Structure 1
Amino acid sequence: MPAKDTCFDKEKSLELFLRIGLDDRTAKNTVANNKVTTNLTAVIHEAGVTDGCSRAVGNLLYTVATKYPTNSLVHRPTLVEYVVSSKIKTPAQLEAAFSFFATLGPENFKLNEFEEACGVGVEVSVEEIGNTVNDVFEENKNAILEERYRTNVGDLFAHVRKRQPWADPKIVKQLIDSKLYELLGERTAADNEKVPKKKKEKPAKVEDKSAIVSAPEHPSEEDINPFSIFPQPEENLKSYNNLKVEKFQFNPFFVNKFLKK
């Protein structure tokens, strides 16, 4: 393909991506990646939004183009339809849909099971989100008061999302920020100071006693030769002969015989 035509195609793709609400940088980076460009263009046509859509829908479609499981492409148009109709409207719902289709593969499925898995139709009110945020803050109050604005907001957000997975993340973030301000007040100079990292103390050297080898004691004769406590074989023979002589000398039979002679 001539270079001129290639440039023209990239310009058309860039215009298309900008129309669905992608920011300029994301759109240009996408055009530079042929694979993502192909996927996103296909998703936009499946969604029927070549003339444009809201930024919220466009960002979700971009996520579909980059993260949808390849083993279940046959079902992608169904998911895209749910995104465009705003039945699926949060990143959490989209991630749940990816998990559902990744497990399903190309097999058929029941819409009610899909909708239940993705929280379709579940509306979490601001009041419900607020109550959950209050509960999370109450449980972590001591740590928040100690760390103040150094508190990891991401952890608080995760606690809320675990209890209210289909809550609107923007509302969750707003309520968490509001609750932090209510509890801590204005930021102080101390809140903006960087906390010095504590140096890890090196463990004290422990003398390796195993390296110290004491001189062994001189072994006794019994240690060298455990049989030294027994007499030598020739000594046994002498003892035996002496015993025979002694028996001979004191045997009355031999004494009487000797006297008769």
Structure 2
Amino acid sequence: MAVSTNDETRVALFQSIGLNEQRARETLKNQDVTRLLETNINEARNFLPQENQITKPIGNLLYALATKSKQQIYHLHKYLIKYICEEKIKNDPQLSAAIQYLLTHPTEPIDQKALEENAGIGVTVTPEEIEHTIEEIIAQNKTKLLEQRYDFSIGSLLGEARKRLPWADGKVVKAEMDVQLLDLLGPNDQSTKSTTQKQNTAKPSTAKAKPAATTNNDIQENGEIRSFSDLSGEALNFHRTGENYKTEGYIMTPKTMDLLREHLKKTGGQ
């Protein structure tokens, strides 16, 4: 099949914001994302008109906005794109929280102060803050970590870090956690199994271990388990009573929010 000139132009456009060629061409397969990403880039150029001003981190966030957002708030993207270009939205947690806030408040005028507070917009978490927080968390769990080593639930440590640093870049937090655990415990290899593992090996259970339940929706086409951020993004598809307007494809009108409030009042929130 011949590739159109327009498609090649779009591939070049998407590559200009940091996408590799494969990702750029895959994006073209989804017309809605393609159209929205083009719009996001053109809007961003109003704030960053010079060539190469849209850096890869900014481009990644523009791409994430195109893939994670919903039709109900497309008209509000200008606010988020401005924050992205000003580097006040710097990472996925901030962007996801901002999208969630706008889905809950989808009509203008937007309370920008409330948006900023709810999404950590403008908040910068320094490497020193991340390092210090991870040190505290590991110190609080040091005894059990030394006993259980890598059998200890590292996920619980990362969860605590996320609570304390909700607007930190998750990749940076994970990297710092790995470094400090390596410093405390040494390498995680088969020659340093914990006492618990040895006991379990010496006295195997007669019952067959059941694999952890994983739904089909948790698995990508390549067979890998999907990331937490992917799954949490899909949580936006579920809504509480009176929040139908957050679902994909819901048509908003100027009277939508007033009508929903009236409905909830009449039904007692049912």
| TM-score normalised by structure 2 residue count | 0.64
1:100-119 → structure 2 map (5 Å cutoff)? 100-119=101-120
Change (3 A) 1:152 1:34: farther
49-58 or 82-91: which moved more?
49-58
Match of 1:73 in 2: 74
Paired residues of 1:74 and 1:106 also in contact (CA < 8 A): no
- State the alpha-carbon separation in 1 of the partners of residues 154 and 25 from structure 2: 31
- State the alpha-carbon separation in 2 of the partners of residues 99 and 164 from structure 1: 18
Match of 1:201 in 2: 207
Match of 1:12 in 2: 9
- The one of 10, 14, 18 equivalent to 1:21 is 18
1:8 CA displacement:
1.3
1:149-184: CA deviations, max 9, x gaps?
455544422220111112233432232122111111
- State the alpha-carbon separation in 2 of the partners of residues 99 and 165 from structure 1: 15
- The one of 32, 38, 41 equivalent to 1:41 is 38
Paired residues of 1:72 and 1:104 also in contact (CA < 8 A): no
SS in 1 for 2:109: coil
Paired residues of 2:92 and 2:169 also in contact (CA < 8 A): no
1:131 CA displacement:
2.5
Could you tell me which amino acid in structure 2 is paired with residue 105 of structure 1? Answer: P
Change (3 A) 1:140 1:18: same
Could you tell me which amino acid in structure 2 is paired with residue 37 of structure 1? Answer: T
Paired residues of 2:93 and 2:169 also in contact (CA < 8 A): no
Change (3 A) 1:138 1:13: same
1:18 CA displacement:
0.7
Paired residues of 2:88 and 2:123 also in contact (CA < 8 A): no
Match of 2:122 in 1: 121
State the superposition RMSD in angstroms.
2.8
1:147 CA displacement:
4.5
Change (3 A) 1:26 1:156: farther
SS in 1 for 2:4: helix
Where relative contact order (Cα < 8 A, 6+ residues apart) is larger, the structure is: 2
1:173-188 → structure 2 map (5 Å cutoff)? 173-188=174-189
- State the alpha-carbon separation in 2 of the partners of residues 38 and 147 from structure 1: 51
Change (3 A) 1:138 1:87: same
Gaps of 5+ in 2: 209-270
Match of 1:64 in 2: 65
Paired residues of 2:14 and 2:24 also in contact (CA < 8 A): yes
Could you tell me which amino acid in structure 2 is paired with residue 67 of structure 1? Answer: K
Match of 2:89 in 1: 88
| TM-score normalised by structure 1 residue count | 0.66
Paired residues of 1:57 and 1:84 also in contact (CA < 8 A): yes
1:33 CA displacement:
1.8
- State the alpha-carbon separation in 2 of the partners of residues 199 and 42 from structure 1: 58
Larger Rg: 1
1:99-142: CA deviations, max 9, x gaps?
11010012322221111112123233333322321222133334
Could you tell me which amino acid in structure 2 is paired with residue 33 of structure 1? Answer: N
Could you tell me which amino acid in structure 2 is paired with residue 97 of structure 1? Answer: A
- State the alpha-carbon separation in 2 of the partners of residues 45 and 103 from structure 1: 26
Change (3 A) 1:101 1:183: same
1:93-172 → structure 2 map (5 Å cutoff)? 93-149=94-150, 153-172=154-173
Match of 1:250 in 2: none
Gaps of 5+ in 1: 203-261
Change (3 A) 1:98 1:200: farther
